[in-house]
Amino acid sequence: MTSTYASPPAGGPAVATPAVVATEVSKVYGSGDAAVHALRGVSVEFARGAFTAIMGPSGSGKSTLMHCLAGLDTVSGGRVVLGDAEITGLGDKRLTLLRRERIGFVFQAFNLLPTLTAEQNILLPLQLAGRKVDRAWFDQVIDVVGLRDRLGHRPSELSGGQQQRVACARALVSRPEVIFADEPTGNLDSRAGAEVLGFLRSSVREMGRTIIMVTHDPVAASYADRVVFLRDGGIVSEILEPTPGTVLDRLKSLER
Ligand code: ADP
């Protein structure tokens, strides 16, 4: 199944080149009778400066697609282009470098280092890469995620929501071209989840960031500008300006 969905205009100023383009991406796990076709020729564009959610029933290929888009897994066929760089076909070393320099990640597990303070955790990727800290940008990120009075705390002294905000600030501070978020609110209660989603959206609207988020939660998806729906390894539908209701209805119709 092949489907092509052009990117919608982002909320901010229109920018021509998409942040990420997948063309006819396929992914097969295993071989012979045991082969699982997790992605079947997915073509999709993700606009720069937009917040896009990827949804679909369990097993539809959401995680596989995210991993292929972010260079965390290889594709079986097709191309993935990040900005001006084709990432499919890059060797391990160049891929690792590209991920480190150009992509930010937020996972369900916060993955913070327990012995470091919030500020040290946020700055660690920049330090590991030998890059200078842009203090004005750091301050802007800290204000958007609301962590100003928690910077000296260690993860164990922070709530789950605060820890995920630290993880988001860590992803934002190096100004990656794209942030991939994999079920970022999966470990949070609904209030903390709403806070995290609120500032992910603010980082797109106010700071021009690009976010691609995998989620199974219609409320989380409603924070995005656009939702693309997968079923059986193919993109089958999309919604612009989603609400929890429109997302839930579409999901139900896909699960039938
Ligand atoms: P989702 O994230 O939508 O739940 P996944 O991308 O995890 O879906 O999985 C898509 C399909 O690929 C499923 O049928 C799943 O069982 C299969 N799959 C995912 N990862 C592997 C793997 N490492 N080996 C074999 N099959 C896999």
What percent of the chain lies above the pLDDT cut of 70? 94
Is 134 among the domain residues? yes
Would you say residue 35 lies in a domain?
no
Domain assignment present for residue 23? The answer is no
pLDDT of residue 16: 63
In sequence order, the 6+-apart residues with CB closer than 8 A to the CB of 224 are 51, 52, 53, 201, 211, 213, 242
Report if residue 123 sits inside a domain.
yes
From the alpha carbon of 65, which atom of ligand 1 is closest? 6
Which atom of ligand 1 is nearest to 64's Cα? 6
Closest CA to ligand 1's atom 14: 59
Q: Tell me, in angstroms, the distance from the centre of ligand 1 to residue 64's CA.
A: 6
Name the residue among 223, 220, 201, 227 with its Cα closest to residue 49.
201
Range of 216's domain? 48-60+100-254
Let me know if residue 208 belongs to a domain: yes
What is the rounded CA–CA span in Å between residue 85 and residue 89? 11
Domain count, the chain: 1
Tokens of 241: 């300006």
Looking at residue 4, its pLDDT comes to 45
Contact 150, 158 (CB under 8 A): yes
The tens digit of pLDDT for each residue in 46-67 reads 999 999 999 999 999 999 999 9
pTM over 0.85: yes
- 71 within a domain of the structure (yes/no): no
Mutation pick for ligand 1 pocket among 29, 180, 255 (CB with most ligand atoms within 8 Å): 29
Residue 160 lies in a domain: yes
Residue 27 near ligand 1, beta carbon < 6 Å: no
CA–centroid distance, 136 to ligand 1, in Å, is: 41
CA 56 / ligand 1 centre spacing (Å): 12
Overall average pLDDT of the 194-201 stretch: 91
Q: Say yes or no: CB of residue 61 within 6 Å of ligand 1.
A: yes
Q: How far is the CA of 140 from the centre of ligand 1 (A)?
A: 38
- Domain membership flag for residue 86: no
CA angle 201, 206, 207 (to 5 degrees): 95
* Ligand 1 pocket, residue 36 CB under 6 Å: yes
Query: What CATH code is carried by the domain that includes residue 137?
Result: 3.40.50.300
- Residue 4, ligand 1, Cβ within 6 A: no
The tens digit of pLDDT for each residue in 119-140 reads: 999 999 899 888 899 999 999 8
